[in-house]
Structure 1
Amino acid sequence: MIPIHAFIANFLAADTTAAASGPAGLLGNPMIMMGLMVIMFYFLLIRPQQVQRKEMAARIASLQTGDRVITTSGIHGIVHNVKEHTVIVKVSEGTMLEFDKPAIASVKKKDAA
């Protein structure tokens, strides 16, 4: 008859060797887990921000007179004139403000209105 403590020791030793050789042992590797975390961060955080930034840059590059815009400071207006680095926005009748192009937060095309 086998003593209980020897049976438990054999059971635990067999369990750890089976776990290390199976698929769980592969995911237990810290380098593989770090690689998976980097890939997850890229597809969940970094990539969507890059896509959003490219879309906004394209919208700002295609600004035309008459487009409705909202600046980063929350000022709503209509594009009056587009220069190389700045945009003149008509806020109200007789009030024109000049903003840098990166200060434009959202653009609504005059055709979409």
Structure 2
Amino acid sequence: MLNILAAATTGAADAPPAWMGWLPIVGMIAIFWFLIIRPQMRQQKAHQAKVAGLQRGDEVVTAGGIVGKVTKVDDTYAELEIAKGVKVRAVKSTIGDVIKPGAAGAAAND
């Protein structure tokens, strides 16, 4: 009987601390933070900086794929000229990218 009690007390002493059970969960959260959440936050900040820095004359691509030249910038909207004499208003947050002046190059079928 004494041997059974001694074996039971040594088994309890060998158990890991309670915080060790949380260690894998904390590790997974850290991995998600550094691989998914943090880069996405950087992309958001870069996009917001691009949109905030819009100026008249910039060529942009909207989220819908419309390419146009900015003719007027407002707090919320940007007016884009998509063809000669054709202007549309777009919400600034839907502007996907600012095209660099030489990036468009010549059309493939010219």
Q: Which residue of 1 aligns with 2:37?
A: 46
Q: Identity across aligned pairs (percent)?
A: 33
Letter in 2 for 1:32: L
Question: CA offsets per residue over residues 6-44 of structure 1, 9 Å max, x none?
Answer: xxxxxxxxxxx9xx79xxx79xx4310100000000000
1:68 is aligned, of 59, 62, 75, to: 59
The secondary structure found in structure 2 opposite 1:84 is coil
Q: Matches of residues 21-100 of structure 1 in structure 2 within 5 Å?
A: 29-100=20-91
- Give the 3 Å change call, closer, same or farther, for CA 64–109 of structure 1 in structure 2: farther
Whole-angstrom distance in 1 between the partners of 2:21 and 2:63: 42
What whole-Å deviation, never above 9, does each CA across 1:31-75 have from its counterpart, x for those lacking one?
101000000000000000000000000010000011110001110
Q: 1:100 to 1:64 in 2, by over 3 A?
A: same
Q: Residues of 2 paired with 1:82 and 1:110: CA distance?
A: 18
Between the aligned partners of 2:55 and 2:24, the Cα distance in structure 1 is 48
TM-score of the two chains, using structure 2 as the length reference: 0.73
> Which stretches in structure 1 are left out of the alignment for 5+ residues?
1-16
Question: Which whole-Å CA distance do the structure 1 matches of 2:62 and 2:55 have between them?
Answer: 15
Alpha-carbon shift at residue 103 of structure 1 (Å)? 1.0
| Structure (1 or 2) with the greater helix fraction | 1
Q: Could you state the TM-score of these two structures normalised by the residue count of structure 1?
A: 0.71
Q: Is the 8 A contact 1:66 1:110 kept in 2?
A: no
5+ residue gaps, structure 2: 1-10, 105-110
User: What is the number of equivalent residue pairs in this alignment?
Assistant: 90
- Secondary structure of the residue aligned to 2:22 is helix
| SS of residue in 1 equivalent to 2:61 | strand
